A and B are shown apart, each in its own frame.
Chain A
Amino acid sequence: MAKIIVVTSGKGGVGKTTSSAAIGTGLALSGHKTVIVDFDIGLRNLDLIMGCERRVVYDFVNVINGEANLKQTLIKDKRVENLFILPASQTRDKDALTKEGVEKVLNELAKDFEFIICDSPAGIEAGAMMALYFADEAVVVTNPEVSSVRDSDRILGMLSSKSRRAERGEDAIKEHLLLTRYNPERVAKGEMLSVDDVQEILAIPLIGVIPESQAVLNASNSGQPVTLDQDSDAGQAYLDTVSRLLGNDVDFRFLTVEKKGLLKRIFGG
């Protein structure tokens, strides 16, 4: 049975697509057949972050409309085994995703994949609702900043009331908090909400903390999911996150200010 995981946040620009790409890639690296689905109709960007923008022929809406089949549309990643991307359409028709159409596509993907990652658009409009509707689990991407935390709480309300699981009275969507752009130095100075602060307010289990990192922009510049940069702090933090998603107990890293040793101070690093 495939597991459907929505990556969502409410607020834009907090790292949903970066996280979808990084988590999807991490799952595939761990040997699980994974597809990442871009739900941001009209503002497709997952293809760019994954570095396959020039290989897009058909898209999600083409499949729903029966203009192409999944085999023609899915883009197979060239770097990682078991990893596929379903690109969003660039149409301006906001109602292009129907519940029936999305369900049909997800059911077909579920036959073939272990994990289906739904990269949600920002906001609480139809596209975002569609991305979370069929989910079994949700990764709520949050920055340690007031508007992001508030919007995440709003999305948590949607997850518990507007999803298929909620409508059917089934077990609730399993929610995970993913804190991104975390800066331990500013937290130590009292200038940024800490992990504990955010967790206390949102009251959902923590799945990962991604430090603010140069590696993330470098990764998106070159179209490489950051999990492939395994020497980087952000790449490692995402791999830890994936391991926790798979049920492993992994200690949290990058939460405190790194104390620079004498050698590092002299030679840099």
Chain B
Amino acid sequence: MSLLDYFRSTKKKTASTAKERLQIIVAHERNRRSGPDYLPQLERDILEVIRKYVDIPADQISVSLEQRSDELSVLELNVSFPDEKR
């Protein structure tokens, strides 16, 4: 890398931004595709209930169903609460 490139590279290249964004959205959509059809509605319902108590943005919740073995699937619920700022 030349000296000039060193100064230029402080700005992030758009291709790597594209890759990161794609990795996230594709993983998310694949997850949803493999799960049962009721999962998105379940996610919305849970979000509604939580919002009665804490105001969280919609992207701070994720629900997934993981097939651990033939007899066992685990429903995983992930909610990130916002930082307490007072």
Q: Report A's interface with B, CB cutoff 8 A.
A: 145-146, 149-150, 153-154, 157, 161, 187, 189-194, 197, 200-202
Complex Cα–Cα for A150 and B23 (A): 9
For residue A201, which residues in chain B have a CB less than 8 angstroms away from its CB? 19, 22-23, 26
User: At the interface with chain A, which of B8-16, B47-55, B58-66, B78-86?
Assistant: B8-16
Complex Cα–Cα for A194 and B13 (A): 12
Complex Cα–Cα for A165 and B1 (A): 50
Tell me if B16 and A190 are in contact (CB < 8 A).
yes
For residue B15, which residues in chain A have a CB less than 8 angstroms away from its CB? 187, 190-194, 197
Interchain residue pairs A-B with the least CB separation, the first 6 = A190-B13, A197-B19, A157-B33, A190-B15, A153-B26, A146-B18
For residue B33, which residues in chain A have a CB less than 8 angstroms away from its CB? 157, 161
Determine how close the nearest CB of chain B comes to the CB of A207; give it in whole angstroms: 20
For residue A200, which residues in chain B have a CB less than 8 angstroms away from its CB? 19
A sample of 29 cross-chain residue pairs with beta-carbon separation below 8 angstroms, ordered by A number, consists of A145-B18, A146-B22, A149-B22, A150-B25, A150-B26, A153-B26, A153-B29, A153-B30, A154-B29, A157-B30, A157-B33, A161-B33, A187-B15, A189-B13, A190-B13, A190-B14, A190-B16, A191-B15, A192-B15, A193-B15, A193-B18, A193-B22, A194-B15, A197-B15, A197-B19, A200-B19, A201-B19, A201-B26, A202-B26
Cβ-Cβ contact count across A and B, 8 Å cutoff: 42
Tell me if B23 and A191 are in contact (CB < 8 A).
no
Q: A146-B21, A189-B13 are in contact. List 10 more A-B contacts (CB 8 A).
A: A146-B22, A149-B22, A150-B25, A153-B26, A153-B30, A154-B29, A193-B15, A197-B15, A197-B18, A201-B22
Which has the most chain A C-beta neighbours within 10 Å: B13, B26, B29?
Answer: B26
For residue A149, which residues in chain B have a CB less than 8 angstroms away from its CB? 22, 26
For residue A194, which residues in chain B have a CB less than 8 angstroms away from its CB? 15
For residue A150, which residues in chain B have a CB less than 8 angstroms away from its CB? 22, 25-26, 29
